[in-house]
Chain A
Amino acid sequence: MWKTFVAWFHRMGSPKWFYEITGRWIPWFAAAAVLLITVGTTWGLAFAPADYQQGNSFRIIYIHVPAAILAQSIFFAMAIAGGIGLIWKMKVADMVAKSCAPIGATMTFIALFTGAVWGKPTWGAWWVWDARLTSMLILLFLYFGVIALQSAFDSKQSAARASAILSLVGVVNIPIIKYSVDWWNTLHQPATFKLTEKPAMPPEMWMPLLVMVIGFYCFFAVVLMMRTRNEILEREKRTQWVQGLLSEKG
């Protein structure tokens, strides 16, 4: 078991192998993402019941929650990939970490924007300086910081190292986001999904949400692979296999 894992880990480190295997994975993840997001959106917008207090504005949950979950998961993934690149000098891990940043920033922005649009009819304000909202805004700035660092160095190695360090330090913000609704008095409602408890919502409300969360994970997988593959093509453009591959398509 361990030996297979180590072998897999080593192969994952080869840009060529990574490029080939993800080329086979992308269509499946893309199909799953399109299917799940289409089903989840239709279900959430047209079939799920309205909230007895919030009415139909509650339907914003079906993008707000998946985007917020992904914003945090992607940051975590970026820190782990950055850490692997830092310790084992694995080039592919550096490229994965770099590719995470813009996708994570998008998800964070979507979570903040949909939250503001949901807050207006629900709380009467677009924005409040509450612990959950503020820690999410910090997450967005951390993503901007990583993106800026990635382009601030001439050497790809220094850029990867600096970004990995910022990502690893920034990870402390993730539990702060998670527990902010428990630690401070906030306007923000507590988590919909908890590992230890059943959701407080009826299944006809949380089932489309679960579909959307899984769909968003598949979407992330697709765009992460697309970006990392481009990164590989760019950095390995002097190798024969990349030149052969690119000229075949041109």
Chain B
Amino acid sequence: MYFESFSEFLNMGGHGLYVWMAYGLSAVLLAINVVLPIMHKGQLVKEQARKLRREQKTS
């Protein structure tokens, strides 16, 4: 471990704000890239279910 304590780790030798801002926003953006296709897939499945129900009613 490079740092002596956890608070030193958070402080990053005075550069904490920059380091955590860079890592924080990147983590959020990467997470969005995973969540969006998952949500899209859920939507596609739901649409298909709705379509099937409609078809069953008419037939």
The residues of A with any CB-CB pair to B shorter than 8 Å are 41, 45-50, 55-57, 59-60, 63-64, 67, 102-103, 106, 109-110, 113-114, 117-118, 120-121, 219, 222-223, 226-227, 229-230, 233-234, 237, 243, 246-247, 249-250
Tell me the complex Cα distance, A41–B30, Å.
14
Tell me the complex Cα distance, A114–B57, Å.
54
Tell me the complex Cα distance, A47–B26, Å.
20
**Could you tell me if B33 and A106 are in contact, using CB atoms closer than 8 angstroms?**
yes
Tell me the complex Cα distance, A113–B25, Å.
9
Tell me the complex Cα distance, A63–B20, Å.
11
6 cross-chain CB contacts under 8 A:
A50-B13, A57-B15, A106-B29, A109-B29, A113-B26, A226-B38
Tell me the complex Cα distance, A230–B33, Å.
13
**Could you tell me if B19 and A56 are in contact, using CB atoms closer than 8 angstroms?**
yes
Tell me the complex Cα distance, A118–B20, Å.
11
- Asked if B54 is at the interface (CB within 8 A of a chain A CB), the reply is no
B3 to chain A, nearest CB (A): 7
Name the interface size band of chain B.
20 to 34
Report which of B12, B26, B30, B41 forms a contact with A230, defined as CB distance below 8 A: B41
**Could you tell me if A49 and B2 are in contact, using CB atoms closer than 8 angstroms?**
yes
Report which of B12, B41, B46 forms a contact with A56, defined as CB distance below 8 A: B12
User: Chain A contacts of B44 at CB under 8 A?
Assistant: 230, 233-234, 237, 246
User: Chain A contacts of B38 at CB under 8 A?
Assistant: 226
**Could you tell me if A246 and B18 are in contact, using CB atoms closer than 8 angstroms?**
no
**Could you tell me if A223 and B15 are in contact, using CB atoms closer than 8 angstroms?**
no
Residue in chain B with minimal CB distance to A61 = B22
A185 to chain B, nearest CB (A): 25
Tell me the complex Cα distance, A28–B25, Å.
26
